[in-house]
Amino acid sequence: MTKASPGTDPTGGRPVVPSRGALRPLGLDEVRVVDGFWATRQRVNGGATLDHGRSWMDKLGWTGNFTAARAGAGEVDRRGREFSDSEVYKLVEAMSWEVGRTGSTDRDREVAELTELIALAQAPDGYLGTAFGGPGQRPRHSDLASGHELYCAGHLLQAAVARTRTGGAGPLLDVARRAADHVCDTFGPDGTWGICGHPNIEPALVELARLTGEQRYLDQAGLFVRRRGHQSLPQHHFGWAYYSDDVPVRDATVLRGHVVRALYLACGAVDVAVETGDGELLAAVAAQFDRTLARRTHLTGGMGSRHMDEAFGEDFVLPPDRSYSETCAGVAAIMLAWRLLLATGVSRYADVIERVLYNVVATAVSDDGRAFFYANTLHQRVRTVDVPTDEQQLGFGGGPRAPWFEVSCCLPNVARLLASLSAYLVTADDEGLRIHQYADADVDTRLPDGRRVALRMRTGYPDDGVVTVRVTATDGGGFPLTLRVPEWATGAVLVTPTGRRAVPPGPVTVRHAFAVGDEVRLELPLRPRFTHPDPRVDAVRGCVAVERGPVVYCAEALADEDLDTLRVDPGSLPVDVDGGVLVRARFTAPGERAWPYGPTPRRAPGAPLTGLRLLPYHRWARRGPATMRVWLPVT
């Protein structure tokens, strides 16, 4: 692979490139994950998961839909749901980041082949979509509420942005520009006053504007954001909140309705706010996300409490056994947190990204990369079942990791995130560098003043809390290096070339004239700890959870233990054992009664306290059928 000289391409290998903001993201050409927790997952993702996604999309006819649409004669024999085009686009996006990450010529060829397929389905006027407008199909844009046409177009644009930023400007970008022009022609100031039921076109148009310099795309994104919230879509049986069309974006106080829709819209609103200098809009979305984190987010960082509409619950409605926490919502929460981090520089958004990475993203995918969770429950009462590796699951609201779901949005979504993950680790600010996420990674970039700096970050994170950052190249002179002390890390210590000091949670900056070989070491205390819920989360009152560093733990039962009868002793602190955490707990014997309620509190006799081994939540359901719980009732 030909590697561009560090920092020379201002947009290279980055999913999001704001023209202004507190922080400038580094790209895949500047940060490379080389080993450890995420390198393993990136390898599996870049091989097995991408192959798996491609083979299922071929098998189910989702790629073939583009060929059928091109034929243009007779009724189109279209397969899959109306939004299946988007999954192909997301896969192309993931493959594009993979080309940037590894220089893989095989993936490059595959992207070219899929681009050819997609391009042939594009109408002469630029419209692209296989579910509408063909012979025997409903007219284009005749179902904005549920048709997902603009949503799909958004994923096409994002794929083209990814391929262009990994060195492949060409046919895919041409296709995307023509599709974006068609969107602007159709829905612009003089066109139809419409919005898509599923946001996504908004951040996509902004990113395409950032890439191409085309003002029209940014204006159109702004229009879509402003049009949202006026109840212009048909009344939905879940209410207008389902598609965030109940309240204008800048007037809302919290994210609500369908989680992924709300988060994608918020991403677009931040993008528009940043590019237009609309501080009020930026502050409004940040406040909505902050309130959502404070009241509507599970311990894992997962979002969504309602299966029926894949939606947020009301404040503090966070029942662990009804945690929807869609994998896509995890990806989308990272997308939003990343945008807010870049815009504001507030370190807490990097904490959110870390939490979601280790507890939603890492949980969702099987070790072999060929099965995944759609929903991520925090309490599995009924034992999971193994599902066949060659059958898609119809229900997508829960269940085990499955090779495929009828709606398989989550797998390519995780794939595009993992392939581009190294672009989420480090940023530059006005003077120096900021490290947000810890991994074995090599950084090679230029400071804002043009001086080259290379760093080697090494860590056993998240198992071990020591992070060492060594300067491996420098043009000389000092620069500030900022590290994030996570919100959970009390008692962290920073060791610099000039000394050793305790550091509180938040960003910590080392200003030094670094020479090659200089090291900064962050020592994060990784003692397991009890975590208590806000008393307003009724569903887990009287429970504790166990965390260690950024990782949430869980109890898992493979045999007959009834986790519903488990009681943990909150007086004995959890301790490390090899590969897990030990708590003192007992199983109780509540017995059976005809009626589960009574006039006095029910006390069940229990066995003596004994050691119970917990495992990282992201490791659950990998050893066979299991029950599991994250929140543990106390004795």
Applying CB under 5 A, the residues found at the interface with Zn ion are 328, 409-410
Q: Please report which helix (H) or strand (E) contains residue 454, including its range.
A: strand 452-459
Residue with Cβ nearer Zn ion (202 or 326): 326
Contact status, residue 86 vs residue 152, Cβ threshold 8 Å: yes
Phi-psi region of 521 (alpha: psi -120 to 50; beta: other; left: phi over 0): beta
Residue with Cβ nearer Zn ion (421 or 455): 421
Smallest gap from Cβ 516 to Zn ion, in A, equals 45
User: Tokens standing for 448?
Assistant: 């804002």
| CA–CA distance, 41 with 44 (Å, rounded to integer) | 5
Contact status, residue 525 vs residue 465, Cβ threshold 8 Å: yes
Amino acid identity, position 557: A
Residue with Cβ nearer Zn ion (328 or 583): 328
Task: Tell me the backbone φ, ψ of residue 217, rounded to 5 degrees.
Answer: -70, -40
Q: Which residue is nearest to Zn ion (CB)?
A: 328
Output the furthest CA–CA distance in the chain (Å, rounded). Answer: 77
Smallest gap from Cβ 470 to Zn ion, in A, equals 39
Smallest gap from Cβ 365 to Zn ion, in A, equals 13
Angle at 419 between CA 418 and CA 420, to 5 degrees: 90
Residue with Cβ nearer Zn ion (87 or 275): 87
Residue with Cβ nearer Zn ion (126 or 330): 330
Residue with Cβ nearer Zn ion (372 or 424): 372
Smallest gap from Cβ 445 to Zn ion, in A, equals 33
Residue with Cβ nearer Zn ion (248 or 397): 397
Phi-psi region of 167 (alpha: psi -120 to 50; beta: other; left: phi over 0): left
Residue with Cβ nearer Zn ion (284 or 356): 356
Smallest gap from Cβ 29 to Zn ion, in A, equals 29
| CA–CA distance, 393 with 82 (Å, rounded to integer) | 18
Smallest gap from Cβ 106 to Zn ion, in A, equals 27
CA dihedral 591, 594, 597, 599 (to 10 degrees): -90
User: Tokens standing for 246?
Assistant: 């109940």
Smallest gap from Cβ 332 to Zn ion, in A, equals 9
Smallest gap from Cβ 328 to Zn ion, in A, equals 3
What single-letter DSSP state applies at residue 70?
H
CA 428 to chain centre: 22
Residue with Cβ nearer Zn ion (365 or 568): 365
Measured in residues, the chain has a length of 635
Smallest gap from Cβ 318 to Zn ion, in A, equals 20
What single-letter DSSP state applies at residue 331?
H
Residue carrying structure tokens 């951040």? 203
| CA–CA distance, 563 with 572 (Å, rounded to integer) | 19
CA dihedral 511, 516, 518, 519 (to 10 degrees): 100
Residue with Cβ nearer Zn ion (50 or 281): 50
Residue with Cβ nearer Zn ion (194 or 397): 397
Smallest gap from Cβ 417 to Zn ion, in A, equals 12
Dump strand ranges (E) for 488-579: 492-496, 499-503, 506-512, 519-523, 528-531, 543-548, 551-557, 566-568, 575-577
Contact status, residue 630 vs residue 299, Cβ threshold 8 Å: yes
List alpha helices for 60-148, DSSP H.
Answer: 64-71, 84-102, 105-120
Smallest gap from Cβ 260 to Zn ion, in A, equals 7
| CA–CA distance, 396 with 402 (Å, rounded to integer) | 10
